[in-house]
Structure 1
């Protein structure tokens, strides 16, 4: 039942390209500036991409099954159609997606490095606890040894969490970013469809 609802949502929100069978994400623009951040005073070709626009693209790409290709189809009023601005927009999107991929890769490397630090600390705590360098057999020493075991397990859990849970999220992000990068972009005059 859930699969049928998802397919219905896909066919309601997106249509398929007749030639490639890729899902088309329709993007209606009043001007080319709609894609860029309103608060960025830079010249047109160097402006940042609007966060809400990126959120829309992200949500749309998440809706579409991973195995399917996507096309970003921009609808622009006929009176504003400008091939040079279209090239600038495509270039800006490409640069932004490249930046997103680099940033994602840095975050993933940071997670892996943290995991290795936690692993080393966990092993260190276990070694100290197992070697039992404490000579006295008092309550305080036992508490300290047990604390070292617990600390070792906590660091091992953090290692597991970073390597297998949090890095999975970064891998999913990377997959979406790569879908952005592979997506075709085309411009259509409003009213042409």
Structure 2
């Protein structure tokens, strides 16, 4: 028999994801010689992380970086954890602004197109032979349709192209980062530290 506490318990739609790395350098670009706090994140690492995170729409509770136990260094992991969080938050904010700008531009174009097409319809209803009005009609109609298609393109593009990247960076930016020791001899995985920031 279920208790009231069990009935009220919400299902957990979160999960943990794991990425295996041989060394900390696997996280960063091979062509960047700077320290862990400044190095560019590797495209291969991001692509693998993106692929794993897109397997479903669940919230990512924890990103686990699996490292050989003999390669671990607490100080380096603290630095890397902070750097990764800063990177994902920065990109999440950048994509959020990009999506916002695309949508604002899209709505502006659609609004302009409505005014242009209303003006064209009004001039057309006058059935005037005036050359100036006729020229305005010729200019307003295609301009109105151009702006409406451009506006819709911006609105669709913000959802089709930018929204998935925004979702990816938001997911990872909100997750915890854990470095997990891999005991190669026994083949077992032992979690040593959860680095929260």
TM-score w.r.t. the length of structure 1 is 0.73
Give 1:157's match in structure 2, choosing from 133, 149, 158.
Answer: 149
Separation in 2 of the partners of 1:68 and 1:99? 19
Could you tell me whether the CA contact under 8 Å between 2:14 and 2:58 is conserved in 1? Answer: no
Stretches of structure 2 that go unaligned for 5 or more consecutive residues are 1-11, 190-197
Separation in 2 of the partners of 1:51 and 1:118? 35
Per-residue deviation, 1:128: 3.8
Question: 2:136 aligned with 1:136, yes or no?
Answer: no
In the TM superposition, 1:81-120 aligns within 5 A as: 81-120=72-111
For the aligned residues, what is the CA RMSD?
Answer: 2.9
Deviations 1:76-96 (A, max 9, x none): 122221111111111111011
Separation in 1 of the partners of 2:116 and 2:139? 9
Query: Which residue does the alignment assign to 2:195?
Result: none
Separation in 1 of the partners of 2:103 and 2:15? 35
Separation in 2 of the partners of 1:61 and 1:26? 10
Could you tell me whether the CA contact under 8 Å between 1:23 and 1:69 is conserved in 2? Answer: yes
Could you tell me whether the CA contact under 8 Å between 1:134 and 1:141 is conserved in 2? Answer: no
Give 2:174's match in structure 1, choosing from 174, 182, 188.
Answer: 182
Structure having the higher strand fraction is 2
Three-state SS of the structure 1 residue aligned to 2:19 is: strand
Separation in 1 of the partners of 2:121 and 2:32? 59
Could you tell me whether the CA contact under 8 Å between 2:13 and 2:58 is conserved in 1? Answer: no
Structure having the higher helix fraction is 1
Give 1:73's match in structure 2, choosing from 64, 70, 94.
Answer: 64
Separation in 1 of the partners of 2:174 and 2:23? 24
Stretches of structure 1 that go unaligned for 5 or more consecutive residues are 1-19
